[in-house]
């Protein structure tokens, strides 16, 4: 497993308005072959952090490094070859088929018009097989269930052949079965495909079960980061979420968190 | 899970685009030929020349407004966006009107340089105002954008009326038809050449961005993540759409709703791929405006009132179509 591909935030600060900082000196790192879940209450700065990692927002202080190089120094095309993004809600303003959407992941690998060749079709096909979306190739995104649509968006990300995959609450609108499926898929991307996967999540237990590392945020700061067994402590969780929690020890794996 | 046949994952090929382009070019030439012969039994040399100039003007205006409309709809992810509705056309109209009045008073030399340049200044000015009003936190609110366009249209309309009021009556008579969007028999060849060159260049530029427009449909963040330089694309597209619209307005005045009707008609036929859509919108826009203008010219000849402004037909067709699209969109968002 390669340790080469890494995305990291170093002392990142960001503010939409001068008097209202959203991120305050955030440090985090995701290495190849690791699934990192970012947790925290609403408004803690998780999505802003993800958009900074993605290069869509420029931090007011600190740096984002992708493979050791500042993210601003990568061209949009190079960035798309290294890093993919899956949004919270799969949507398309135009009535494209799932196959066409997945092929859009090849834009950074094709010429000016984005015309896909045989090699691009093969990559897209492989991504769809991996995510079990090939049977839906000729269907529209809105004809799919929430889980299927999210898989299609992950397939589009995989078609980019990235080293880093960023996902913004990909399971927020899904049932338990689809939540498990997406988390297993993210784990496979990290462990079997060697990607650095960063996922924003609201489900502490699912994140703890599947992630290699958890990052807990509150008020734009990282309160704790580390392996699930290190981070899942009652005091840290209470400080993060402002609620009383109980940890139920399991025979193996991380404890189950229950709000009381 | 059974695997479907490999045909289910297909990509657009260069060969298909070339084939589409050739078929559309031939169809446009056939329509132009038919329109040129329609209406008058005997065509003398002068009438031929005027008619061909008129058809060339109509096709250039049709290409400009249709392709600019398609690009604005893609960029703003809003099926209701269009140069006329967003106030770009009326902004260009103010520019042309100012230039014409100054030229009529001998303060400015009229011609192929001043008219497009002033039209462009008006179009860009309106674009900047509409964009500035609708932009919040780096995102554009689609409904604020449309409302801003409506307000700018009213404002530009008032400006045009004020300019006309302050001008001499001999100048006003020329602007009555022009203000409704009229294609003239007497377009200056130099003006047509400059404007057509701008329109053609804009068409090619927007066609080449078709793949990026497709990705924009997935949202700015996703489009950026697949390699689309979203901010630059937005600036470039607004600039190109303004240049194309300004060229169209310099040639024929503010012709409304072409940028709404044609791209939607094309979408219904060929689907949402903007690489094909840019080709189809351009050629079908040219055909649409040649046919509409031929109808106006013929009706004008029949009822002996001279040429009827083509903008009347496009507005009569486009107004109800706009309401239909607005209601469809409201249903979609409330569903």
The domains of chain B are located at 64-326
Segments making up each domain of chain A, as ranges: 92-162
User: How far apart are the CA of B22 and the nearest CA of chain A, in angstroms?
Assistant: 18
A105:B137 CB<8 A: no
Please give the average per-residue pLDDT across B206-235, as a whole number: 93
B175 or A85, which is more confident? A85
pLDDT tens per residue, range B65-110:
999 999 999 998 888 888 988 999 999 999 988 887 777 777 776 6
Of B6, B219, B227, the CB nearest to A76: B227
* Percentage of residues in chain B having pLDDT higher than 70: 90
- Average pLDDT (B262-278) is 94
**A/B interface, count of CB pairs below 8 Å:** 125
Amino acid B113: pLDDT: 66
Q: Concatenate the DSSP letters of all residues of A157-197 into one string.
A: HHTT--SEEEEESTTTT--HHHHHHHHHHHHHHHHTT--EE
User: Is the separation of the CB atoms in B71 and B241 below 8 Å?
Assistant: yes
Q: Which comes out higher in pLDDT, residue B239 or B111? A: B239
User: How far is Cα B283 from Cα B254, in angstroms, rounded to an integer?
Assistant: 20
Report the 10 Å Cβ neighbour count for B39: 17
| Cα–Cα nearest to A30, from A6, A49, A47 | A6
Q: How confident is the model at residue B5 (pLDDT cuts 50, 70, 90)?
A: very low
**pLDDT value, residue A128:** 93
Interface test with B, best of A75, A91, A94, A200 (most B CBs within 10 A): A94
Q: Select from A44, A3, A5, A4 the least CA-distant residue to A26.
A: A44
Q: Do A112 and B211 touch (CB under 8 A)?
A: yes
Q: Is A101 within 8 Å of A141 (Cβ atoms)?
A: yes
Chain B residues whose C-beta is within 8 A of a chain A C-beta are: 1-4, 6, 8-14, 17, 74, 77, 137, 208, 210-212, 214-222, 224-229, 271-273, 275
Phi-psi domain of A40 (left: phi exceeds 0; alpha: psi -120 through 50; beta: other):
left
Q: Does A140 touch chain B (CB under 8 A)?
A: no
Distance from CA of A240 to the nearest CA of B (A): 28
Residue B2: its chain A contacts at CB < 8 A? 135
**In chain A, which among 103-132 make CB contacts under 8 A with chain B?**
103-105, 107-108, 110, 112-117, 120-121, 124-125, 128-129, 132
C-alpha to C-alpha distances, A159 to A50, A144, A196, B89, B228, nearest whole angstrom: 20, 19, 16, 41, 15
- The predicted complex's ipTM stands at 0.90
Consecutive 10-residue runs of chain A (260 residues): their mean pLDDT?
A: 73 90 94 95 93 93 93 93 93 91 95 90 93 91 89 94 94 86 93 94 91 95 93 90 86 80
Tallying the residues shown for chain A, one arrives at 260
Continuous H helices in B272-309: 274-302
Q: Say yes or no for a CB contact (<8 Å) between A134 and B8.
A: yes
* Amino acid B181: pLDDT: 87
On chain A, the residues whose CB falls within 8 A of the CB of B1 are 132, 135
Which chain B residue shows the shortest CA-CA distance from A76? Answer: B227
The CATH fold of domain B64-326: ABC transporter involved in vitamin B12 uptake, BtuC (1.10.3470)
Contact A107 B1 (CB under 8 A): no
Report pLDDT for B43.
66
In the predicted model, what is the mean pLDDT of residues B242-263?
Answer: 92
Q: Where are the strands (E) in chain A, listed by range?
A: 6-17, 20-31, 35-39, 61-66, 69-70, 83-86, 164-168, 196-200, 213-218, 221-226, 245-248, 256-259
What digits encode the pLDDT tens for the residues A135-152?
999 999 888 988 899 999
CB contact under 8 A, A76 and B221: no
| B289 touches B61 (CB < 8 A) | yes
Q: Is A58 on the interface with B (CB under 8 A)?
A: no
Question: pTM for this one?
Answer: 0.89
Whether residue B228 and residue A76 make contact (CB cut-off 8 A), yes or no, is yes
Q: What is the pLDDT of residues B306-334, one digit of tens each?
A: 778 899 889 888 888 888 887 876 666 66
Residue B62: its H or E element: helix B45-76
């Amino acid at each position: 497993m390669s340790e080469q591909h890494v995305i990291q935030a170093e002392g990142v600060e960001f503010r939409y308005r001068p008097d209202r900082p959203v991120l305050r000196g955030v440090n985090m790192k995701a290495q190849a072959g690791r699934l990192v879940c970012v947790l925290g209450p609403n408004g803690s700065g998780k999505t802003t952090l993800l958009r900074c990692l993605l290069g869509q927002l420029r931090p007011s202080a600190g740096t984002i490094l992708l493979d050791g190089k500042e993210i601003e120094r990568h061209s949009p095309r190079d960035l798309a070859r290294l890093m993919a993004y899956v949004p919270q809600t799969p949507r398309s303003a135009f009535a494209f088929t799932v196959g066409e959407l997945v092929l859009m992941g090849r834009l950074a690998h094709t010429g000016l018009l984005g015309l896909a060749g045989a090699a691009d079709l093969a990559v897209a096909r492989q991504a769809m097989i991996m995510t079990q979306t090939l049977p839906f190739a000729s269907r529209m995104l809105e004809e799919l269930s929430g889980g299927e649509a999210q898989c299609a968006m992950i397939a589009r990300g995989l078609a980019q052949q990235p080293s880093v995959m960023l996902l913004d609450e990909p399971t927020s609108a899904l049932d338990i079965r689809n939540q498990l499926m997406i988390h297993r898929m993210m784990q496979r991307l990290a462990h079997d495909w060697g990607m650095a996967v960063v996922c924003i999540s609201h489900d502490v237990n699912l994140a703890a079960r599947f992630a290699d590392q958890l990052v807990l945020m509150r008020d734009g700061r990282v309160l704790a980061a580390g392996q699930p067994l290190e981070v899942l402590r009652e005091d840290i969780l209470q400080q993060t979420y402002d609620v009383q929690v109980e940890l139920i020890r399991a025979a193996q794996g991380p404890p189950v968190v229950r709000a009381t | 899970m059974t695997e479907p046949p490999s045909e289910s994952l297909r990509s657009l090929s260069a060969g298909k685009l070339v084939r589409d382009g050739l078929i559309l070019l031939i169809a446009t030439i056939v329509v132009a030929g038919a329109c040129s012969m329609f209406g008058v039994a005997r065509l003398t040399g002068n009438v031929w020349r005027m008619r061909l100039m008129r058809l060339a003007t109509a096709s250039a205006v049709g290409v400009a407004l249709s392709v600019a409309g398609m690009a604005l709809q893609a960029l703003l992810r809003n099926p209701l966006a269009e140069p006329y509705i967003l106030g770009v056309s009326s902004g260009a109209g103010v520019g042309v009107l100012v230039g014409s009045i100054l030229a009529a008073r001998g303060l400015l030399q009229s011609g192929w340089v001043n008219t497009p340049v002033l039209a462009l200044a008006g179009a860009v000015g309106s674009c900047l105002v509409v964009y500035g009003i609708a932009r919040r936190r780096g995102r554009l609110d689609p409904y604020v954008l449309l409302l801003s366009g409506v307000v700018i249209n009213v404002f530009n309309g008032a400006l045009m009326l004020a300019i006309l009021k302050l001008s001499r009556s001999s100048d006003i008579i020329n602007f009555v038809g022009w203000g409704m969007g009229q294609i003239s028999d007497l377009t200056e060849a130099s003006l047509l050449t400059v404007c057509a060159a701008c329109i053609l260049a804009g068409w090619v530029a927007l066609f080449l961005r078709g793949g990026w427009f497709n990705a924009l449909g997935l949202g700015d963040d996703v489009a950026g993540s697949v390699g689309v330089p979203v901010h630059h694309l937005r600036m470039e597209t607004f600039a190109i759409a303004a240049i194309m619209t300004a060229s169209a307005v310099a040639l024929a005045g503010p012709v409304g709703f072409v940028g709404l009707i044609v791209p939607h008609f094309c979408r219904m036929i060929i689907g949402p791929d903007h690489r094909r859509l840019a080709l189809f919108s351009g050629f079908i826009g040219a055909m649409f405006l040649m046919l509409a203008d031929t109808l106006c010219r013929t009706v004008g000849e029949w009822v002996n009132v001279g040429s009827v402004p083509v903008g009347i037909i496009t507005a009569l067709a486009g107004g109800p179509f706009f309401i239909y699209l607005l209601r469809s969109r409201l249903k979609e968002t409330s569903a």
